[in-house]
Amino acid sequence: MAYCDPRNKVKLGFVEGLNNKIRVIQRRAYGYRDEEYLRLKILTAFFSRK
């Protein structure tokens, strides 16, 4: 919800893109037993831009 605050000036399309990317990672990660590993996969996806 903080992303949607007008003072932050973050575009909603950007936030939707982040949410979609996380959903895709969660779908691919179905069956992982370790939530920390899933969290690291999500963080890695956002920091490994080329």
pLDDT bucket at 11, cuts 50 / 70 / 90: confident
Per-residue model confidence (pLDDT) at position 18: 85
Query: Sign (positive/negative) of CA torsion 26, 28, 30, 34?
Result: negative
Residue type, 25: I
pTM more than 0.75? no
Tell me how crowded residue 21 is: count the other CB atoms within 10 A of its CB. 13
User: pLDDT by residue (tens digit) across 16-50?
Assistant: 888 898 888 888 877 778 888 888 888 888 886 65
Cα–Cα dist 27/34, whole Å: 15
Per-residue model confidence (pLDDT) at position 2: 56
Q: What is the 3-state secondary structure (H, E, C) of 8-32?
A: HCCCHHHHHHHHHHHHHHHHHCCCC
Six-digit token string for 46: 């956002």
